[in-house]
Copies of this chain bind each other. A is one copy, B any other.
């Protein structure tokens, strides 16, 4: 918890975060998590001070999702090794309630495996799944921004199957869905069009053999070729986090999606869109549909927030105050 008796100076904290100072990143995330009014003002200044070109134009924000038990944490550990070998600094935000990182078993085997690879270019933060409305906690977006300011890759690990509404794909550049062999239900959700198609599909535990190959071929069967030339073609890969096979190819596919987004000039657009949606979602949770209508309606709000993007906390507070001032009319 933050000791507000010696409040951090947001400007110098932002500078240290940008210098990849791990203790500054930890302090900044604590500040974002602090609900006291003074802390919220400092947090708003912090976010406003982070370099905009990093938040909206660089880095790679990756969502890793899938059912519990699919081996997301082991796969994260294996990916971190590849990324570190490639010289990339990595921040991990784990919001999976079944994960050994964010869940109860903090000293579980997989975390220890992960820890053995930790150096000062890897940062892990776990986030309890406080899930007011949507499951994904409101802190995920601002915390992702702080991490984007510090690291080359920011990975958000969540649990999910078929849950469009609490989907990490609403927050990240590239969504990677991790299936386990015999992930029959996930395949059905994809087939039925209930689950959002991810950008990269991977069957973990590929060493299991026949079951993994069957699952992979079923998943491939749910993927359609791109409608237009130049559209993204979703790859479906096999990997084994424990044997270390297929991890380089997975990292390559994730990076290829990032390169595709950049080639399309889409990166700044989607980041600004995510932020606008995050702001509108928080207003919706606080003031309901009534509040959104009072503020001019969802689509006008989204458009204005994408048009003139600013610090998310400041924009949120300004809309919040506008509602509270207007509600008497």
Q: Is A300 an interface position by the 8 A CB rule?
A: no
Assess the A192–B131 pair: CB atoms within 8 A: no
Interface range for A: 35 or more
Q: Is A128 an interface position by the 8 A CB rule?
A: no
- Stretch from A15-23, A146-154, A158-166, A235-243 contacting the other chain: A158-166
Assess the A162–B161 pair: CB atoms within 8 A: yes
Assess the B290–A189 pair: CB atoms within 8 A: no
Assess the B287–A191 pair: CB atoms within 8 A: no
- Stretch from A5-13, A26-34, A177-185, A303-311 contacting the other chain: A177-185
Residue of B nearest to A179 (CB): B185
Bound complex: CA A183 to CA B159 (Å): 17
The minimal Cβ–Cβ distance linking A25 to chain B, given in whole angstroms, is 29
Q: Is A188 an interface position by the 8 A CB rule?
A: yes
Residue of B nearest to A181 (CB): B184
- Which of A180, A188, A285, A289 gathers most chain B CB within 10 Å? A188
- Stretch from A47-55, A65-73, A248-256, A257-265 contacting the other chain: A65-73
Chain A 67-89 interface mask (CB, 8 Å, partner B; 1/0): 11110000000000000000000
Residue of B nearest to A283 (CB): B288
Bound complex: CA A24 to CA B103 (Å): 51
A residues whose Cβ falls under 8 Å from a Cβ of B: 67-70, 97-98, 131, 133-135, 159-163, 165-166, 180-186, 188-189, 191-194, 283-291, 327-329
